[in-house]
Amino acid sequence: MSLFFEGETVEECHAWVSALYPECFKNNEAFMDAQVDAIMKANLEARPYPEFLPGSRTRVVLRNNTMYAFDINLGVIFNIATGQILKATKTNRVGVNGKPVLVYNEGLLACFPKPDYPHVTADHINQDHHDHRLVNLRWGSASLQATNRCLPKDLDLPAIQVLENGDWVFYRTRKAYVEEKLGLSHADVYREVSHAIIHGSTFKGHHIRNWVPENIGKLHDIPSCVVGVTGYQATEYGGWIHRPNGTYTQGHKHCRGHYYSIGINKSYYQVHELTTNAFWGLRPSEYHQANHKLGAAAGSADAKDLEWILPRDNVQHAYDTGLNPNSRAVVATLKDGTPKTFSSAMNAVRYFKKEGVKVDPSCIMRACNGRLKTAGKMAWAYTDGGTSRKRKFIDTIDTEEERVDTVDAVDDFGAGDTVEEIEEQG
């Protein structure tokens, strides 16, 4: 299937549009008719749609700014005059003429028009929201987005164990045991199952108990002032939460996030924060954050690896552990010729401040980039041997071997930043 509509008739366009959507969406004829209508109207415009760069069939000029183009194979926006690729933020935005725009929105709009239909947004077909190649993009209605939504990873385990022939057998849920093992309707007997678990009695002649994960260590109460109810406990190891009903859960981790969350009393809490409250006391102030000492934000929340920390220390910790992609290690050549390495320029500034030596971080960066000979009367260099931050240019990227990481190493910028300032951040 071609990535662009190359036919002439409405029937051909409808066949091309239909191929973009799954069978579960085939009945939504109104949306597809709107997409076909938008494409056919665009073909009548004086300006070509899409408008390719001269000599190219993979680079399309943006509709709202002709100084920039979208590469359909790389899924990036670049400056036509310089060829420099605009690095995207973690929220998939780049700066175009001082305004933050979504890469996938501008790229998709450059390739084919947005249909006149309620609540239409860009849809990532493979659910990877950092893959902006045209082959992964299409316009989608609210119902299509719901069908193709990215579901959270569920770590909630209301599991049970049943004593069968002297062995405790694991079942993923009570419903699985009742319906798959016994062939009964869970809706009819769930109260009896719960009664047997709570009171230690039998159900259909079998002893049943809530499953308890192994190697969880001690249980500490989560303060009721934190979650609004009593009876919840956090485990010492593994990041488990023990509910009042006896079940254990690690909550859930959304596919776009890093932290495990759990719903308690109609509110959501991060598991590592609950564990920190349970083992290390209440949050010292509203400014303190729960920090993973090992930097494993996406891992289990062991109590020994957690602490309350101020934001500035948390940021420094991210540099020290390599979690912040913007950090770049530097090496200073001391007056006696001894090299000393730091994880970042700011870390070097803090070190020398304690030694009574004042050095400006911007001067360190300029020295590393070769613009100054010294900073603080010391020579400086990046440990990787480079100079300025490496900017990527569209004609230096091998589309078969390297896909540009569109979330590479820049902080979110404000709408007031200029394009030059945004590009300089890269």
Residues 276 and 312 in one domain: yes
Question: What pLDDT, on a 0 to 100 scale, did the predictor assign at position 20?
Answer: 77
Say if CB 76 and CB 403 are below 8 A apart. no
Residue 144 sits in the same domain as residue 59 = yes
Domain end position, chosen among 366, 382, 398? 382
Domain assignment present for residue 419? The answer is no
Q: Which domain holds residue 343?
A: 330-382
Can you say whether residue 328 is alpha, beta or left, with left for phi > 0 and alpha for psi between -120 and 50 degrees? Answer: beta
Please name the helix (run of DSSP H) or strand (run of DSSP E) that holds residue 308, with its range, or none: strand 306-309
What does 213-231 look like in DSSP terms, one character per residue? -SS---EEEPPHHHHSSS-
| Total number of domains in the chain | 4
- DSSP-assigned letters across all residues of 334-377: -TTS-EEEESSHHHHHHHHHHTT----HHHHHHHHTTS-S-BTT
Residues 6+ apart with CB under 8 A from 148: 22, 123, 125, 127, 140
Of 150, 168, 185, the residue that ends a domain is 150
pLDDT score of 398: 47
N-term to C-term CA, the chain? 36
Q: Is residue 3 part of a domain?
A: no
**Residue closest to 1 by CA, chosen among 138, 104, 120:** 138
Residue 417's pLDDT is what?
37
What does the alpha-carbon distance between residue 125 and residue 102 come to, in Å, rounded to a whole number?
17
| Of the candidates 426, 384, 388, 385, the residue with the CA atom closest to the CA atom of residue 409 | 426
Is residue 133 domain-shared with residue 41, that is, in the same domain? yes
The mean predicted confidence, pLDDT, of the chain is: 81
Instruction: Report CA-CA distances (Å) from 318 to 40, 344, 414.
Output: 51, 11, 23
Residues 6+ apart with CB under 8 A from 406: 75, 76, 87, 88, 92, 103, 130, 132
**Contact assessment for residue 38 and residue 116, using Cβ atoms and an 8 Å cutoff:** yes
> Are the C-beta atoms of residues 107 and 77 closer than 8 Å to each other?
yes
- Give me the numbers of helices (H) and strands (E) for the chain, helices first please: 12, 23
CA distance linking residue 25 with residue 76, whole number of Å: 28
Contacting residues for 220 by C-beta, under 8 A, at least 6 apart:
233, 234, 236, 278, 279, 303
Q: What angle do CA 307, 308, 312 make, to 5 degrees?
A: 115
336 lies in the same domain as 230: no
Residues 87 and 129 in one domain: yes
In order of 101, 102, 204, 251, 411, the CA distances from 93 in angstroms are 5, 4, 58, 30, 10
**What's the pTM?**
0.50
| Residues 373-382: tens digit of each pLDDT | 899 999 999 8
Angle at 392 between CA 391 and CA 396, to 5 degrees: 140
Claim to verify: residue 130 and residue 14 sit in the same structural domain: yes
pLDDT tens per residue across all 426 residues of the chain = 677 888 889 998 888 888 877 665 555 788 888 889 999 998 888 888 999 999 998 999 999 999 999 999 999 999 998 888 888 887 889 988 888 999 999 999 999 899 999 989 998 988 888 889 999 998 988 888 777 776 554 455 568 888 888 888 888 888 888 888 888 888 888 888 888 888 888 988 889 988 888 889 999 999 999 999 999 999 999 899 999 988 888 888 765 567 788 899 889 999 999 999 999 999 999 888 888 877 665 566 789 989 998 877 766 656 555 555 556 788 999 988 899 998 888 889 989 999 899 999 889 988 988 888 899 999 999 887 766 655 566 765 544 334 433 333 333 333 333 333 333 333
Question: Is 368 within 8 Å of 359 (Cβ atoms)?
Answer: no
For residue range 180-235, what is the model confidence (pLDDT) as tens digits?
888 888 888 888 888 888 888 898 888 998 888 888 999 999 999 999 999 999 99
Same structural domain for residues 166 and 109? no
Distance of CA 386 to the CA centre of its chain: 29
Which string of DSSP letters, residue by residue, matches 103-169? HHHHHHHHHSPPPS-TT-EEEETTS-TT---GGGEEEE-HHHHHHT----EEEEE--EEEEETTEEE
Note the residue count of the chain.
426
Give the model's pLDDT for residue 379.
93
Residue 403, in any domain of the structure: no
* 141 and 19 assigned to the same domain: yes
Q: pLDDT for 91-133, tens place per residue? A: 889 988 888 999 999 999 999 899 999 989 998 988 888 889 9
